[in-house]
Each structure stands twice: as C-alpha cells, then as structure tokens.
Amino acid sequence: MDPTSEQLLWMYEKMVEIREYEETMAKVYLEGKLPPKIQKGLAFDIGAGPVPGEMHLAAGQEPVAVGVCAHLRREDTVVGAHRPHHFAIAKDVDLLGMTSEMFGKANGLGKGKGGHMHLFDPAVKFSCSGIVGAGAPQACGAALAAKKLGKDWVAVSFFGEGAANQGAFHEALNLASLWKLPVIFVCEDNKYGISVEKSASTAIESNADRAAGYGMPGVLVDTNDAVAVFRAAGEAVARARRGEGPTLIEVKTDRYLGHFQGDPETYRPKNEAQQLRQHDPIVILGAQLRARGELDDAKDAALRSTISARVQAAYEHGRNSPYPAPEDALLHVFAD
C-alpha cells in the first residue's frame, strides 16, 4: 500500500509542523530555568519559567506519528505516551488548547492542570499518559467499545520500547488477541529508555517478535522513514477494520533531543544526535516529493511560512492566555 500524492504531502506538512513545534518548545521551555535567573547554586530549575515541569520532545520521531495517523479517521482513537506532541499534531488535536495546557492556562485542554504529558482532546479521540505502558490497556478499551458498537473504528497505542517490558503491555496484547480487538500497538524504538540502551534492558532484539507469543502479526520497520511506516500501518489498520484483530508494529526511529529538556545526555556517544540528523526523515520525504514533481523551492517555502505562522500563533496564545483562578484549584480534578 503506497501513499497517494495527497497523503505524501500531508505527511510532509505534518512532519514539518511537528518539528517546528518541538524546536520552538525546546527554546521556550528553557526560559527562566538556567543561571543566572534561578536560585544560586542550581544548574537547572525544572519548576521555573513559563512552562514548568518536565518536557519530553519528539524531534526526529515524526515518521512514526504521520505514517500511522495518515490512515486514521476522526472517530479512531489514539493513546500516546509521555512524549506525545507528534501524535497529537498528527491526530489534529487543537493546537491552541494543547499549547495553552503546556503553559498551565485556564483555556488549555485540561484547564491548565494536566501539563504536556496529560493531553486530552475528546473531539478527535486523543489522550496520553505519563505512566509508562499505561496506554496499551486504554487502547484496548477503546477498541472493545468500537467492536461492541458494531463500528469499524480502530484504536492505536503508541509507546516507547521501554514500555514493552511493562506487564501492562503483555496483558494488553494478550487481551487484544483473545478478543480480536481492532487495535494497533506501535512501538517507537528510539534506542533509549530514558538513559538506558535497549540492549541493556531488553532480552530480545526486536519487540515485533513478541507478537508471535500472542497470536498476532508482528511487523518491524527498520528505518526511520514515513513511507515505510505508512505501508506497515496501512495493512495493520485495514486488518483491524476488517475485524481480523490486532497488530504489533515496531519502528526504529531516532530521538534527536534528550529524554527530557535539560537532560545532559552523558550516556550518549559524542555527536550521536548530529550523526542521526544526517538522515533527517523530513529531508528524505521532501526529496521524494521533489523527485515526483510534487514539491519545489517556492511551494516548500510557502508551506513552511504557513506552518511557522500557525505554530507561533499557538505559542502566543499559550503565553497570553489567563491562568486558572485560585478558587478553581479543586475543579476538574480527581481526588481519592
């Protein structure tokens, strides 16, 4: 299953938007968090600045999000992980509300109380979680609901390779296969679970091989390429819509930035990220579009200008929106 020209252009545009969004956040997030603007003696203040808390960015991992989401409809469910922005943008989550949420503002997706790891947009059936591995069972729930309603909707669970060692991952795959649920499990293998290399934490080379233990297809995409992901996801989504059950896809992808912003990345070989950028998936897809006559310098410049304006508008919206009122601190939260 090869993408149409329209789908190729959509993937390229979304990848550029994701990269612009993440690289902008990489700068905004550090505002007010570094010396000399923080307490003397500290090297980094995670709670300071306009965007407090941790921040996990996905620059380099764009192909996983767009290659899968190119096949999805508005009524399909996506459940992301703690590094969720690329999935959210590819699923057309409200960019203004998403950005306001990261700034902790009252008009954010979660009224400013969830932050970047807890983004929820029911209008497009998107959610994510900061708990590693938590999304797989949730995707099973959405898939079960679709099946009971007699709909051909699918659910997608995105997670990192570290989550494949969590019990919830295995429980979810077992249940999905047992009940033939229309769910696609997508593992982003970016080599590192926080700072631990996969080879030091995982007994099997490819998590896609684990699918056999649960009676479902396992597909390895061994290149960080949007078209390759598109092809693998196309069959998995079609299979799920036909009522034939789940699929596990593992994609070898690249994380250009640290596990979190402010990560010293002492565990990575020197210049590793720079070397990975030599195989930038956006550049690769752009070259493919140019070879097909679908993209030229003028069209690319216009597209990037439009995207930049959209992203900057979202950040200005987030900065300038009001904070929640103090008296609303206990509204829209769960407590036990």
Name every residue whose Cβ is closer than 8 Å to that of residue 209 and which is 6 or more positions away in sequence: 218
Over the stretch 283-296, which tens digit does the pLDDT of each residue have? 999 999 999 999 99
Average predicted confidence (pLDDT) for the chain: 96
Token digits of residue 253 = 């992808």
Q: 234 and 1 in contact (C-beta within 8 Å)?
A: yes
Three-state DSSP class for 181? coil
Helix axes 62-69, 281-291, angle to 10 degrees: 50
pLDDT interval class at 1 (50, 70, 90)? confident
Question: Measured between alpha carbons, how far is 150 from 9 in angstroms, rounded to an integer?
Answer: 33
Domains of the chain in start order, with CATH, are 5-320 (3.40.50.970)
Q: Which of 169-178, 308-317, 327-336 has the lowest mean pLDDT?
A: 327-336
Q: 207 and 224 in contact (C-beta within 8 Å)?
A: no
Three-state DSSP class for 75? coil
Please report how many Cα atoms fall inside a 13 Å half-sphere around the Cα of residue 44, on the Cβ side: 11
Q: 98 and 22 in contact (C-beta within 8 Å)?
A: no
Residue 298, number of CB atoms within 10 A of its CB: 8
* Largest Cα span, the chain: 61
Overall pTM > 0.75: yes
Tell me: cis bond preceding 36? Omega within 30 of 0 counts: yes
pLDDT interval class at 335 (50, 70, 90)? low
Over the stretch 247-278, which tens digit does the pLDDT of each residue have? 999 999 999 999 999 999 999 999 999 999 99
pLDDT interval class at 54 (50, 70, 90)? very high
Over the stretch 308-327, which tens digit does the pLDDT of each residue have? 999 999 999 999 999 999 99
The position carrying tokens 């140019």 is: 290
Q: 205 and 197 in contact (C-beta within 8 Å)?
A: no
Residue range 29-58: mean pLDDT, rounded: 94
Residue range 38-60: mean pLDDT, rounded: 94
Q: Considering only CA atoms, which of 336, 306, 317 is closest in space to residue 12?
A: 306
Look at residue 336 and tell me whether its pLDDT is greater than 70.
Answer: no
